[in-house]
Structure formats: structure tokens, C-alpha cells
């Protein structure tokens, strides 16, 4: 893919991320918010692919889109009376809108202060990435970083068992 094509794909994915993130926080139907979150997470995975981080893109799709977002959708579908609740306009919503406008104004100001070269220099890869990223990552996880990898696995297992125990107590 040529450098110009990468820039076009980057901008398309960036716009998709921004629009879907705004939809996540602004839509009134929580199911539609979850669908917009899935779109946002897919676009982030596309950015990871552009950066040459295939493993992170695969993990993004499998863990966040495949597990978390689908779990949210099932929880929303199984929970009753969520659609009946109305969201009312309050002063807090206006304050949040004002803060968002201030944030985007500051980001635009910072981007305009930079030169064209300064903005795009970080998108160009300084050195070519190895073609076997996932193989190298796997080698490090199973040799040099095996202990932290196993500790995180045990921590996640303990958290899952704790969540099951708490859920069983609430249902009993």
C-alpha cells in the first residue's frame, strides 16, 4: 500500500472512530450505543493494522469486540425496562457539551500550531518492522516474560472466580 493510500485509510478510520465515539455518548438507545462502540473498536483495530501491530489488532477484535461488546449487548437485551427510561436534558449535559467543545478547540489549536512536517513525521515508520511480529512477541512471552504472563493469567482467573462467587450470592 502506498504512503498516500495509508494516509487516506488513516483519515477514514479516524473519522469513523470520532463519529462512532460521539454516537456512543450521545445516542439515547443503549443498544445502538453498544453497536456504535463495536464500530469504534473495529476502527481502532484498523489503526493497529496500519501501524503494523497485527497482534494488537487481533487482540482488539477478539477481546473487546468479540467478548466485551457482545457481552454488553447480551446484558442489554436480557435486562428489562431499560428502554422505558427517558434521559432528560439537564444542566450537566450542557456542561459536558461545553467541555467537549473546549477540548476540540484546544486540539485544533495545537494541530494548527504544528507544521505539516511535524504532524505527519510520526506516521512514517523510522525503521521497517520485522515481518514476524507475532512470532517475536510469542517468543518473548514464553521466555523472557513468562513469569509476568503467568501472574496475569492467575490474577484474571481469580477475578473470574470472584465474580462468579459474587453473582451466585446475589442470586441466592
pLDDT band at residue 16 under the 50/70/90 scheme? very high
Predicted confidence (pLDDT) at residue 85 exceeds the cutoff of 90: no
Q: How many Cα atoms occupy the beta-carbon half-sphere of 84 within 13 Å?
A: 3
Average pLDDT on 41-57 reads 89
- Percent share of the chain, pLDDT over 90: 13
Q: pLDDT tens for residues 102-135?
A: 888 887 777 676 655 555 555 555 455 566 777 8
Predicted confidence (pLDDT) at residue 42 exceeds the cutoff of 80: yes
Note the pLDDT of residue 134: 77
Note the pLDDT of residue 103: 81
Average confidence score pLDDT of the chain: 78
Note the pLDDT of residue 128: 59
Specify whether the CB–CB gap between 20 and 39 falls below 8 A: yes
pLDDT band at residue 13 under the 50/70/90 scheme? very high
Name the strand (E) or helix (H) holding 141.
Answer: helix 133-142
Q: How many Cα atoms occupy the beta-carbon half-sphere of 3 within 13 Å?
A: 6
The closest alpha carbon to 69, from 38, 98, 39, belongs to 38
Q: pTM of the predicted model, to two decimals? A: 0.57
Coil, helix or strand at residue 78: helix
Amino acid at each position: 500500500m502506498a504512503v498516500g493510500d495509508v494516509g487516506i485509510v488513516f483519515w477514514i478510520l479516524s473519522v469513523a472512530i470520532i463519529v462512532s465515539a460521539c454516537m456512543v455518548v450521545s445516542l439515547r438507545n443503549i443498544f445502538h450505543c453498544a453497536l456504535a462502540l463495536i464500530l469504534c473498536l473495529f476502527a481502532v483495530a484498523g489503526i493497529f493494522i496500519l501501524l503494523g501491530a497485527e497482534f494488537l489488532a487481533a487482540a482488539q477484535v477478539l477481546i473487546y469486540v468479540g467478548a466485551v461488546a457482545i457481552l454488553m449487548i447480551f446484558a442489554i437485551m436480557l435486562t428489562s425496562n431499560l428502554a422505558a427510561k427517558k434521559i432528560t436534558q439537564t444542566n450537566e449535559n450542557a456542561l459536558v457539551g461545553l467541555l467537549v467543545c473546549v477540548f476540540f478547540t484546544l486540539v485544533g489549536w495545537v494541530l494548527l500550531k504544528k507544521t505539516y512536517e511535524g504532524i505527519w513525521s510520526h506516521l512514517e515508520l523510522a525503521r521497517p518492522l520485522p515481518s514476524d511480529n507475532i512470532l517475536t512477541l510469542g517468543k518473548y512471552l514464553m521466555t523472557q516474560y513468562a513469569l509476568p504472563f503467568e501472574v496475569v493469567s492467575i490474577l484474571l482467573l481469580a477475578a473470574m472466580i470472584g465474580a462468579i462467587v459474587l453473582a451466585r450470592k446475589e442470586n441466592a
